[in-house]
Structure 1
Amino acid sequence: MAGSELLTLAHLSDLHLPTVGGFGPRHWTLKRTLGYLNWQRGRKRWFTRGAVDALVKDMAQQRPDHIALTGDLVNLGLPSELAAARSFLEDLGSPDEVSVVPGNHDIYVPLQRDPGVARWRDYMASDAFGREIMAGIRVRRDGFPYVRRRGRIALIGLNSSLPMPPFVAAGLLGGEQLTALERILGLIRQRGLVRVVMIHHPPLAGLASRRRGLHDAQLFADVLARSGAELVLHGHNHTNTLAWTKGAHGAVPVVGVAAGGMSGAGKRSHALGRYNLMRFTDSGGTLGIELVGRGFSAPGGEVMELERKSLAMLGAGDAADPVTA
């Protein structure tokens, strides 16, 4: 890509790290029972730690400046799983190197007398810049949204996940979080920074069924149409997708990535494990974003480059109509 390099951001999602022990009776619910049976009947063969470790090893060799992890680190939201995921995060990088938003499998059912995903709080918290931006903006009790700055890139973490009934994997941002997001996007644009939004659920209508989608996707799209953003990253669908939505200052790319833990063993309908490198450049005041996809081309194969493409060059004041997926 031409132009000066701003930052390389690695995007990883949906690891579904293998379920570990610590199954206390008080943590069992109907939804967890069904999820555990689903894990035993197939998912534990499809999602492997070996696939995750291979991607992480390759990612380290690419030397990204920061890692964005968009949820579903675990499967049943058990305390033992969440604690093990904390250890995984510490091996992956420090909170200064990794930013996380939770997925629906991380917040699977309500937990009683347990911190849940708050174990990862320092990976999901605003830095000094974010606290300055957030001054006077109300955040939820769980600390979302949060804001971090890395060079000229500002990361905005949203939580779309909350406990849902059995057979439902939908998400919701809620009015409080959407109101905060709109103010955040405006303030960061005033600073001249590139705005990257992280969310677990596909944030546009039509990218997932109602049973699996973001219930206030249209309200999220309305916020982007009024305030704009330069990039949205999500997971959840276990597929590699690129969609576009209308922004206040140009079309906004919305990028989904396949499940990082998907080995491909016995599961042909899902894309194999992959992560994306999002490379940001500045060419005379025009932002360029290059997507480089790296992952498995075949079950049990080596991690390699699978895709490379340049997203639209985004100049200040550009206008564009939305392009649907």
Structure 2
Amino acid sequence: MTETFTLAHFSDVHMSPIPGVAWQYWNAKRLFGFLNWQRSRRHVHSVAVADRLIADALALRSDHIAITGDLVNLGLPAEHEAALVWLTNIGPPDKVTVIPGNHDIYSSMRGDRGVARWAPYMGCEEDTLAFPFIRRVGPLALVGLNSAVETPPFVASGRLGPHQLEIAQEQFAELGEEGAIRVVLIHHPPLASLDTPRRGLKDAAHLRRLLERGDAELVLYGHNHKPTVTWLPTLGKPVPLVGVASASAAVAHGDEPLAQYNLFTFFKNPDGLRIRHVVRGLSRPDGPVTKISESFLDASS
């Protein structure tokens, strides 16, 4: 690796529900979700705000954009179609990677292809999904995991399952032998301690054991709408687990800040890989997109 590479990380856009949805897709889960949107979340999330952050990342010449899920709210076909248009406006599939969140795979689709519409942005064939997937972008190997599963009302938990975990373990080892910088993308927080059982990753303990082998350089996630950096001890160097605020938060909501995104710059020096981590976003609702913080995730320490 002789040049720097920048990766912008966004999550939890929560595009507004599309009116006029066919009756067969409605159930208790979606009804309560829609009521929650009407009562609360519609006053928080704005795609126009997310667009401002995306424009900022593009203006800074980010080499690639990764979005860790929850593009939509009720997981409905019209929402998936609108999200695909939004992704297309950001850039072509070779410049953008997305994984689904629990709001994207929300409840029964009754045979609809759902997030398979986004397959090219997951490095998959049209309408055909396979997880985990690997996308090689510059010196990075983006490993996309799918933690989103259908859940009952008032539950937002996720699960990877043994098949994904087994394949991911093999992929991590192979990518390490190739010298790739392994960046894991997952929607739910990867540790049980980072969320409640009702909202957390059900098999987080299994994922933790996998990561403790030291087979990744960086883990990116969303779901909590909060900027977070947690260091996980491994058999080798500690691995940073980095969460991000919602990319569309037009107002602060509880302990969730205004819209933000992560910007990572990867480069090597004589001591090894270094990762600069910049958080950019809004410091006030009507203000510009600015730098919130800057630090180094020093994988050589």
Q: Bin the TM-score by the shorter chain.
A: over 0.9
Q: Which string of whole-angstrom CA distances, capped at 9 and with x for unpartnered residues, describes residues 102-149 of structure 1? A: 00000000201210000001111259xxxxxxxxxxxxx841000011
Query: What is the match of residue 167 of structure 1?
Result: 154
Q: Secondary structure at the match of 1:301?
A: coil
Give the Cα separation in 2 of the matches to 1:227 and 1:292: 24
Q: Show the 5 A alignment for 1:1-325.
A: 5-125=3-123, 142-264=129-251, 267-284=253-270, 286-314=272-300
Give the Cα separation in 1 of the matches to 2:235 and 2:147: 23
Q: Secondary structure at the match of 1:76?
A: coil
Q: Secondary structure at the match of 1:162?
A: coil
Contact 1:9–1:66 (CA under 8 A) maintained in structure 2 = yes
Give the Cα separation in 2 of the matches to 1:195 and 1:89: 24
Q: CA deviation at 1:248?
A: 3.4
Q: CA deviation at 1:269?
A: 2.7
Contact 1:4–1:283 (CA under 8 A) maintained in structure 2 = no
CA gap 1:57/1:275 in 2 versus in 1, 3 angstroms: same
Between 1:33-42 and 1:276-285, the stretch displaced more is 276-285
Paired-residue identity, %: 45
One-letter amino acid matched to 1:245: L
Q: CA deviation at 1:226?
A: 2.2
Contact 1:125–1:143 (CA under 8 A) maintained in structure 2 = no
Q: CA deviation at 1:285?
A: 5.5
Q: Which string of whole-angstrom CA distances, capped at 9 and with x for unpartnered residues, describes residues 134-185 of structure 1? A: xxxxxxx841000011121111000000000100000001000000010000
Give the Cα separation in 1 of the matches to 2:74 and 2:28: 11
CA root-mean-square deviation: 1.6
Contact 2:271–2:300 (CA under 8 A) maintained in structure 1 = no
One-letter amino acid matched to 1:256: G
Give the Cα separation in 2 of the matches to 1:178 and 1:10: 25
Contact 2:70–2:101 (CA under 8 A) maintained in structure 1 = yes
Q: CA deviation at 1:268?
A: 4.0
Q: CA deviation at 1:271?
A: 1.2
Give the Cα separation in 1 of the matches to 2:138 and 2:79: 33
Contact 2:71–2:83 (CA under 8 A) maintained in structure 1 = yes
Q: Which string of whole-angstrom CA distances, capped at 9 and with x for unpartnered residues, describes residues 161-212 of structure 1? A: 0000100000001000000010000000000111000000000121000000
Give the Cα separation in 2 of the matches to 1:239 and 1:64: 22
Q: CA deviation at 1:45?
A: 1.1
Give ranges in structure 1 of 5+ residues lacking alignment.
Answer: 128-140, 316-325
